[in-house]
Structure 1
Amino acid sequence: MSGRTAQRDSGGMASILDETPPRPLFGPAAALAVLAGIGACLSLPALPPWPCLAFAFACGFGAWLHGDRLAGAFSLGLGLAGLHAAAGLAQQLPQALENQERMLSGRIVGLPQSEPRRTRFRMRVDAGAEMPPALRGKEVQLSCYDDFDAAEPGPRTALAAGARWRIRARLRAPRGLRNPGGFDSEAYALAQRIAATGYVREPGLARPLSPPAGIDAWRERLSRRIAAQVPQASSKFVRALALGDTQALADRDWEVLRANGLTHLIAISGFHVGLVAGFFALIAGAIWRLHPAWARCLPRQDAAGAAAVAGALTYAAVAGFALPTMRTALMIAVVAAARWSRRPQRGVESLALAAMALLFADPLAVLAPGFWLSFAGVAWLLWCLPPNPGAVRRPVRDFFGAQAIATLGLLPLSATLFGQASLAGPLANLAAVPWWSLVVVPLSLLGLGAESLCEGTGAFFWRWAARAFDATWPWFEALADTGVAAYGLPEAAWYALPLACLGAFWLLLPRGTPAKPLALLLWLPLLWPQRGLPKSGEAELTTIDVGQGLSVLVRTSEHALLYDMGPAVRDGYDAGERAVLPTLRALGVRRLDRIVVSHADNDHAGGWEAVRRSLPIADALAPQGSRVAQTRPCLAGTEWRWDGVRFRILHPPPDFPYLGNEASCVLRIETAHGAALLTGDIGEVIERRLLRQARADVRADVVWVAHHGSRGSSDPAFVAATGARYALVSAGYSNRFGHPNPGVVERWQEAGAGVPTTFESGALRVRLTADGITLAARRRQVPRLWDAVRRRERVSYRQESTRPLVPEG
């Protein structure tokens, strides 16, 4: 052989040896790359133009198929998520059409949620030409209010799942509060493709167009039968476990579930879908064993797989095709398809394939906490408990091991998503998972099957399911009341979650791994984050976004004061529970040294009971005659000092009659670096009175505009005397009072003050420090791409409107 030939052959052999096999299209690495691309897109502060997103999707798809799989999958996920987000935001109601009454006809989807004076429901608007073009074929979230009792017939109580109605509604684009630690309802609306929210006008004129029909109507009928046939109070839990109907669960029930880490079990969960699928597979396998000849047409394993998929899809339909059930059904279908193809597939590959299928179908699913908890939980179990066919099975040991792995592995995600860690969770799950999943749920499902075949036969199973549930629920209630079941965690920096996940990975490595105790250090940024408290002589004031109301948290280096707690309205919304307490927990406030209730109006004192019930409070002040429970008088001349910061009450004076708004407690806060003035709802008369008594006392760098910026406040002389750099307005988005009044805003602006509002900027945090006076808006500090879209739309709308622009500050 010549040297040249040998060289050529050796080179060809080397190229063959150096060539690596391509990464699988649907492997774990590709799934992680797609997920990373989707997460990167949804984390952007603004959405790129759709041609750029389409280009990223096309290039990513080509590279994923024929080029660099990981880079292509990342670009594919980024472009796909951006296109879905752009389409979802484009479907939402435009700003120019908000707060207009519209006649709508459509079908009620899902189960309406009935409350004492309100029914909430989702309607899919008809696609006919008579419907508004911006709403045709889209889903809207509506509320119906009236004074009928829930037990009496009326327009509100007649709303049934699956029925078609014609109603008049006032609508607006989905809009929510934005606070540290708060629920992002705008992200939820985008993920659920909700085009608008609103309420029914003139409920008595609403007219049904067709009777209930479909799977949702069937679910509601069975839910009512369970309520009628099960006398125990726990029938509401049977409905939740059997049908995913959680509307009857009270706030107390959810508190107990959260404290014990059991919210993932109370509605239909993925684990329950797996149980049903396994039961269907066992039944199919038994039938094929009784008829061996059937295997000639369809092998027994294929029949079992098909039955498992059918069972999973059936149970998903029973749950209203909720996202957790659809994820599990998809995973079961993937495993069954792999078996049908006769290609061996590991568990992690099945998980990756299911994840990619779900992400391709709906990339916005990552906005739901359940997505992360479901896939992360299965991934941890697959990694830590690999299948070993030759190993001796120890069911008890494997069960406890799985619980320990799930608890430790999911703790970082749970703490980040929910702002708390359930210390009682591991103990509660050890009891609830086997008992509820293997006893309560099967009995509930047997009741559904029996009732579907013959009406009245399901009561036996449902009553036994309720008795089985009652055997454990009192224990969980007692555990939740110990005070140590749930541990609230302050909001942590962005890097805390990946560090904690790395720490969990380190701790779950096999025995013999060195320096395992050091992994606990990686948890510190998540469990004990820096709170950024003011130094001695400094103060921080956070205006909590509570809608149409007021709540301000004042912190010094060692103390915390809460001024007002927002509204609690008749429809069940309590700002104290939904906005104030989550914000306090996210900021690390575990006790309040003093509360000042400016006056007894609902928009200021409505959340008082929720806050008082949940946090230790050393002292509380309110105006004389306001009848706010467990408070002492708030009187002018009251003064105290905390950590070098001076607090003074300027109004009302002793013996001042309680006159509602005019009796509001006015609080002045003085530091060496600036002063702040909290004015409640006082009007022009009291503002002039304060000027006459002590003009120097109203001078402040930061002022909370009185009465949410109403026309009857912010006297011109008072505005000029404050000399404020910032005049903060706490008001609800598109509120019916028109707050803040454009003339009032213009008056403060002409005096040289910036006028940020909570409905535009979310929570507003002001710091009076040695470095100066700074203002941070939550929507600017933690931007979301849907904020940018709405901001551009508002600016465009205002440029065409005659109403003056209200800046965000």
Structure 2
Amino acid sequence: MQPAAGTPPVIHAPAGACARRPAVALFGPGSAAALLTGVVAVLLSPAWPPAGWGIPVVVAGLSCLVGGWRRRRRAYLWMGWVLAGVGLAVVHAAGMLAAQLPPRLEGAEMQVTGRVVSLVDRADGRLMFDFRVDPEATQPGALRGALLRLAWHAREGTSPAAVAPGERWQLRVRVRAPRGVRNPGGFDAERHALAAGRVADGQVRSPADARRITTGSSIDAWRERMAARIEAGVPAPSSRFIRALALGDTRGVSDQDWYLLRANGLTHLIAISGFHVGLVAGFAALLCQGLWWLWPGLGRSIPRPLAAGLAAVAGAAVYAAVAGFALPTVRTVLMIAVVVLSRLARERSAQVDALSIAAIVVLLVDPLAVLGAGFWLSFAGVAWLMWCLPVATRRPVRAFLLAQGVVTVGLLPLSVALFGQASLAGPIANLVAVPWWSLVVVPLVLAGTALDGVWAGAGVWAWRLGAWCFDLTWPLFEHLGGSRLALAWLPDSSWVAVPMAVLGAFWMLLPRGLPGKPLAALLWLPLLWPAKDLPAHGELEMQVLDVGQGLAIVVRTAGHVLLYDAGPLGRSGHDAGERIVVPALHGLGIRRLDRIMLSHADADHAGGLAATRSAFDTDTLVAPHQSGIEGATACVAGDAWAWDGVWFEVLHPTPFFPYLGNESSCVLRISSPHGRVLLTGDIGTIIEQRLLRMSPQRLGAEVVVVPHHGSNGSSSPSFIEAVGARHAIVSTAHGNHFRHPRPEIVARWSQAGAAWHDTAVTGAVRVGLSREGVDVESRRRAQRRGWDAEARRRAASVPP
């Protein structure tokens, strides 16, 4: 039977044929997520696989990836990306660890030649700068081509030489592998060094032998000269912020400034950020389009879209160079380049595809980028905005307000997880700062920099006008930073809290009308109000913090907190109270201190007091008589009190004992139904024998903090026998020049049956006295990291 006229013929597929599977995107969001999963699985694992695993895993991943793409099977494709991520992370991680300073060279002095590759930080009589060692064979083998962070300290009656970016120098340096302290709520300096590619830190030795080989001729040298021009041309105090916005030079931004910026959620704006790079790229593209509109004949040589895209990439690259190629700016340049290339290739990809390609490119180039907070915040922020906001709108004010709300809710879980804090004033401050700084201040600053780059002095007027505009808003942020809307510190939470909070944010940002949105707030509870695991009645928890060469101990009962010593204040201005003790207290969920007891007034024990007292309310401050601690009551033997079923008793100094520094240290014994702790400060053998004569029965303890950091003048055999400790804890700095603890002291305690814990090796040490008995746990063991330099040093059997 013939089909009716006008009816299209029916075409039958051949027998056995089947419909082809739809095409699979090789670089889609699923691919980016799979690659990220593989990288994170390696870099955030407690131990990294051997280097030999990397290449075979990458080859297997590529094979699986190609097969999945050809067969159009997403599962195979994504598995290939996961394996590729694992292999690349292993290769990069192994390469960085292999490049780090060998344990045998710890503390060694050697002569190196290289170039200054950063701006020079000048403060407190010392210089700090990054130094790239020459790759020539004449350099020490372990340091050829290595990136070092060097300190050049002033000597008595002298000052460091004038060092400028771009200069080549021959220096004699003492080097050490990058080291950092490990505490609750603390900054991981070793991870930061690894992500930056820094293989060692060092100090310049024999300054008289230092020799400048050539003068500076690099982008950093230009940045240094331009920073000096801004400082000279802008007399206002906000000159430091103008330098930060123009050049990414934050050397003049003080700790108090950073606190106010964090309290207002504005740290992403004050230095050159990805947002500013995108802004410059947009201005460059608009300028190019304007030129093509004025001279249409240019379009016959280069189409206007192509020219605008190339101008955007060029503008972004130049601005990133002005910022010294900081990692956030480089990521943004890559993202812009990916978008432009996709347009030039006439690929009509969605915004999410462009973001996915950018993430894949960043991870392929540098998998270690996931160790930095900027990677997560930049990509997550753009992803939230793409998902929640329309591509175009005729109501820009409403779109801006929505964007601020989306970023605030979407990035809050990451901010808490990465920094342990949240800014309640952030949404308000950003409503002012984002449009005003980005659309008024930054263009003026950039205009001044461009004009001054062409003709010295031509951009001063723009810098000054930008500073005046900046000063209009800064008082508002100072007010917000000092209000109750300032930083909210949150204690450490479990690993599952962040995914739950992200799910809660996703739920909250779903389209209006969906039911159950108030229930999403329940998913935030594990992150914002984590369980503090406080001791029960009669139990005790103690944290011996890793503060370097000093002491700071946090003692908690069921309802009270004691801080015994407050950490050191270094000669270079390093305040352990501000940088270690206060963040650790916040990380432990502590809001106030019931008592601070300073063993004595030396800077390594009492240096952090001012910063700690300014951050926490304190009922009582106790210190030895005549120690000079303002506002302190005397610490006298016989003083005792009880907290929540735990007994505290002072054993030394006795009444009318003169202040003799170390020998006047407050000795505190803490007793619970489950064990005892002895805190000894810096007493020596003389006071140890005095305590043995006066009350030997009161010295017994399961846990002791070793006297005077394990020096030769303490821990006498009779004292060790009387204490009878099962655990001996000492607080020292790695490689300290006092050589604490002394090997013979370590041997004495170990031979007496005490397990030895050194904060320089273990990080902070947690002691729990509970119904289960005495539990001692180190921070480095509880939270192992693949980049733990100390673990690798111990594995090599090299003493610290």
| TM-score strictly above 0.5 | yes
Cα 1:663–1:140, aligned 2, differ >3 Å: closer, same or farther?
same
Report the CA distance shift for 1:524/1:464 in structure 2 as closer, same or farther (over 3 A): same
DSSP-derived class of the 2:776 partner: strand
The offset of 1:9, in angstroms, is 5.2
Q: Map of 1:258-657 to 2, 5 A cutoff?
A: 258-387=262-391, 392-657=393-658
CA distance in 1, matches of 2:186, 2:125: 25
Give the secondary structure class of the aligned counterpart of 1:20: coil
1:622 counterpart letter in structure 2? A
Show CA shifts across 1:249-289 (max 9, x none): 11110110011111111100111111111111111111111
**Equivalent pair of 1:548/1:730 in contact (CA under 8 Å):** yes
Q: Given the superposition, is the C-alpha separation of residues 110 and 592 from structure 1 closer, same or farther in structure 2, using an over 3 Å criterion?
A: same
Shift in Å at residue 793 of structure 1?
Answer: 3.6
Quick check: 1:85 aligned with 2:101?
no
Task: Name structure 2 gaps, 5 residues minimum.
Answer: 2-9, 69-75
SS of residue paired to 1:592 = strand
Quick one: structure 1 residues 30 and 424, their matched pair in 2 at CA, closer, same or farther if it must change by over 3 Å? same
SS in 1 for 2:566: coil
Give the whole-Å Cα distance in 1 for the aligned partners of 2:156 and 2:448. 32
**Counterpart residue identity of residue 468, structure 1:** C
Paired residues in the alignment total 784
Q: Supply the distance in 1 between the matched residues of 2:80 and 2:35 (Cα, whole angstroms).
A: 9
Partner SS state of residue 148, structure 2: strand
2:636 aligned partner, one-letter code: L
Is the aligned partner of 1:120 residue 2:128?
yes
Partner Cα distance (1:204, 1:252) in 2:
36
Question: Does structure 2 retain, via aligned residues, the 8 Å contact 1:96–1:797?
Answer: no
SS of 1:24's equivalent? coil
The alignment's TM-score, normalised by the length of structure 2, stands at 0.96
CA deviations 1:387-440 (Å, max 9, x no partner) are 25xxx5101000000000000000000011000110000000000001111111
Once residues 616 and 164 of structure 2 are traced to their aligned partners in structure 1, the CA distance between those partners, rounded to angstroms, is 39
Is residue 138 of structure 2 the alignment partner of residue 130 of structure 1?
Answer: yes
Structure 1 residues 155 and 132, CA, compared in 2 at 3 Å: closer, same or farther? farther
TM-score of the superposed pair, with normalisation by structure 1: 0.95
Identify the residue that residue 115 of structure 2 maps to in structure 1: 107
SS in 2 for 1:617: strand
Structure 1 residues 305-357: Cα deviation after superposition (integer angstroms, max 9, x where no partner) = 00000000000000000011111111111111011111111111110001100
Question: CA contact under 8 A between 1:145 and 1:203: conserved in structure 2?
Answer: no
2:254 is matched with 250
Q: State how far apart, in whole Å, the 2-side matches of 1:205 and 1:617 are.
A: 51
Q: Is the 8 A contact 1:155 1:204 kept in 2?
A: no
The aligned counterpart of 1:214 is 218
Match of 2:148 in 1: 140
Post-superposition offset of 1:28: 0.6
Q: Which residue of 1 aligns with 2:187?
A: 183
Q: What letter is aligned with 1:690?
A: L
Deviations 1:695-726 (A, max 9, x none): 11110000000011111110100001111010
**Counterpart AA for 1:496:** A
Consecutive unaligned residues of structure 1, counting only runs of 5 or more, are: none
Distance in 2, matches of 1:20 and 1:517, equals 41
- Give the Cα separation in 1 of the matches to 2:521 and 2:230: 48
Deviations 1:44-93 (A, max 9, x none): 21111122222211111221222211111111111101110110011010
CA distance in 2, matches of 1:136, 1:255: 38
User: Deviation of residue 104 (structure 1)?
Assistant: 1.5
- How far is 1:523 from its partner? 0.1
In the alignment, which residue of structure 2 is the partner of 1:239?
243
Quote how far apart the aligned CAs of 1:147 are.
5.3
Q: How far apart, CA to CA, are the structure 1 residues paired with 2:761 and 2:54?
A: 28
Q: Give the conservation status (yes or no) of the 8 Å contact 1:95–1:794.
A: no
Aligned to 2:172: 168
Mapping of residues 652-691 of structure 1, within 5 Å: 652-691=653-692
Aligned AA (1:541): M
In structure 1, C-alpha distance between the alignment counterparts of 2:142 and 2:188, rounded to whole Å = 24
1:700 corresponds in structure 2 to: 701
What secondary structure does 1:144 align onto? strand
TM-fit CA distance, 1:570 = 2.1
Deviation, structure 1 residue 148: 8.5
3-state secondary structure, aligned to 1:619: strand
Equivalents in 1 of 2:567, 2:390: separation in Å?
51
SS in 2 for 1:618: strand
Equivalence for 1:73? 81
Residue 129 of structure 1 aligns to a residue in which SS? coil
Residue type of the alignment partner of 1:131: Q
Q: Is the 8 A contact 2:264 2:429 kept in 1?
A: yes
- Tell me how far 1:384 sits from its aligned partner: 0.2
Q: Which residue does 1:715 correspond to in 2?
A: 716
Q: Does 297-306 or 624-633 show the bigger shift?
A: 624-633
Q: Does the 8 Å CA contact 2:165/2:216 hold for their aligned counterparts?
A: yes
Distance in 1 between the 2:406 and 2:161 partners? 46
**Alignment partners' CA distance in 2, 1:252 and 1:422:** 16
Is residue 60–residue 74 contact of structure 1 (8 Å, CA) maintained in 2? yes
Change in Cα spacing, 1:286 to 1:638, as seen in structure 2 (3 Å) is: same
Paired residue type of 1:74: V
> Are the counterparts in 1 of residues 564 and 597 from structure 2 also a CA contact under 8 Å?
yes
2 CA distance for matches of 1:147 and 1:302? 58
User: C-alpha displacement at 1:790, in angstroms?
Assistant: 4.3
Measured on the aligned residues, the alpha-carbon RMSD in Å equals: 1.6
Check if 1:33 corresponds to 2:31: no
User: Per-residue CA shift, 1:103-150, capped at 9, x if unaligned?
Assistant: 11110011111112221100001122221100011100011111599x
Q: Cα distance, 1:795 vs. partner?
A: 3.5
Q: 2:202 maps to which residue? A: 198
Deviation at 1:794, TM superposition (A): 2.8
**Which residue pairs with 2:6 in the alignment?**
none
User: Is the CA contact 2:50–2:90 (under 8 Å) kept in the aligned structure 1?
Assistant: no
Superposition pairs of residues 8-23 of structure 1, within 5 angstroms: 12-13=16-17, 15-16=18-19, 19-23=20-24
Asked whether the 8 Å contact 1:699–1:724 carries over to 2, the reply is: yes
Distance across 2 between alignment mates of 1:202 and 1:400: 58
Shift of 1:157: 5.3
Aligned to 2:796: 796
State the percentage of identical aligned residues: 54
**CA, structure 1 residues 148+481, in 2 after alignment: closer, same or farther (shift >3 Å)?**
farther
Distance 2:529 2:130 in 1: 41
Are the aligned partners of 1:34 and 1:356 in contact in 2 as well (CA < 8 Å)? yes
Distance (whole Å) between structure 1 residues aligned to residue 340 and residue 283 of structure 2: 15
Question: Conserved in 1, the CA contact under 8 Å of 2:129 and 2:151?
Answer: yes
Is the Cα contact below 8 Å between 2:761 and 2:790 reproduced in 1?
no
